[in-house]
Structure 1
Amino acid sequence: MLPMRPSPTSARSGAAASDRASRCPRATTSTSRNTVDRTPNTRGLGIVSIDSRMQLRKRRSMTQQEIAHHQNRSRRSAEEILDAAVAVISDHGLAAFTMNTVATKAGGSVGRVYARYANKEALLFAVKDRAFSQLENTLESRLAASDTGKDAIAEFVRTVSETLFAAPKLFSFMVSHSAEDAELHGRGFAFHQRSRSLLIDCLARFDIIDSSTIGHVYEMVVQSLLMRVISLGANEGVPPYPGFPKTTTYQEFLIETAVSRLIP
């Protein structure tokens, strides 16, 4: 009697069953423990344990703290370099202004300066931009706190005057050097636009709305103060001639003149 051969169909069925058994093993009884291992297989299903999620959050939090720390340190570094640049200009003038002298004043390497500013012109622009931004912000806050139109005019004149004459060499450089550099000139023009608008908007609160006259008064005050600061800056802060009016005296004269023009 001939032995029976397995049919192709039964062979394929057996292979499929064997494959399913290998991929989906039944629960087995441990030989060391008389318990059934029913731990689910979560590999490949995107399931993360609670401990893993907490560790991920901790790592993300630490990364954000490190980023914030790096940003603060970078900001402080930029401010230190700008402070050093202002000190070099104020103490020694523009002729002594180089990336090396700024680095020495800041107490660091010249590479640190170049890491923040590509060249001398970029650093000079940053110096001017910060100085004008600080003056704009001070003007905005002081004008907003004014109670009357006369107070607003006085605050405007005093703020501009005190800021300019606190660093005559710096602002003398900023005015004179702007004529030679289009980008610096543009920043100065933007300052005039904003500060003039701040004065016009503030005086409108007190029904002083003749913007043309306000513009003329603005030009008179600012240009007069700039001419004085250029004279002092060019003369190492020393009055250029005998009888040169004191800053406070000239400041009060400008306030009186501006008030008489704007408040009949």
Structure 2
Amino acid sequence: MRVMNRKEKMISKDKAPEGMSSKVSFDTKTLKRLFSYMRDYKGQLVFVAVCILLSAAASAASSLFLQSLIDDYITPLLGAYNPVFSELLKALVLIGAVYLAGVISTLLYSRVMVTIAQGTLKKIRDEMFEKMQRLPIRAFDTRTHGDIMSLYTNDTDTLRQMIAQSMAQLISSVFTIVAVVICMLYVSVWLTLVAAAVMFLILQIVKMVTGRISGFFMMQQKTLADVNGYVEEMVNGQKVIKVFCHEEKAKEELREKNKAWAISAASANG
């Protein structure tokens, strides 16, 4: 059984782990490289952008329609002796069609983004595997099998979530914010300025918080790979562990590694 010689690093929630910067800078080169894997999906990405735009427009239009619905359709009917609901019914059918268009757009771009994400990850995994064939034996001797497999499973799954969910949500949020700001300016300029000031303060707080926890997301993946590698190593070496009565020591080391992962995950997501 091969014994791991890597030093354990325990993480505290208030202090970043040793050797890890408390603030991780935004790497534009990595983002450009990620986009390069998505070149074959230009048509699908344009379709996604159009669907996101329609979804954001439907969301903003439905919110703006509430004012018109109350002032132009519901309020006049309250004082009428013999109210006629035909115009109100037409308005409800219209806003229902807008909601339906928004739901269909969201469904379409979500499904297309899943296809793009899976195709992109296939390219990345294929490239990783091809490069791994050219690595020297020393690269495998200094890493556990679980650590290597974690690159293909945990790390790429995080990337899949980013492409399929976070990226689409980011674009949708940008379009929605633009549409909502236009509607707010149409309703009241002064209220828009007040809301913008509050949002500026919120963004500063979010920027400060994300700057502190971004390093813990990286450590979360590292400690998860460490746990996977250790478990794989102990399972394959169970006979040796039994022969040398190493069970309790193995359990203790696993608890320490699991605790390190739990603390880093709690710090990143809490």
Pair in the same fold by TM > 0.5: no
Higher relative contact order (CA 8 A, sep 6+): 2
TM-score by length of 1: 0.27
Larger radius of gyration: 1
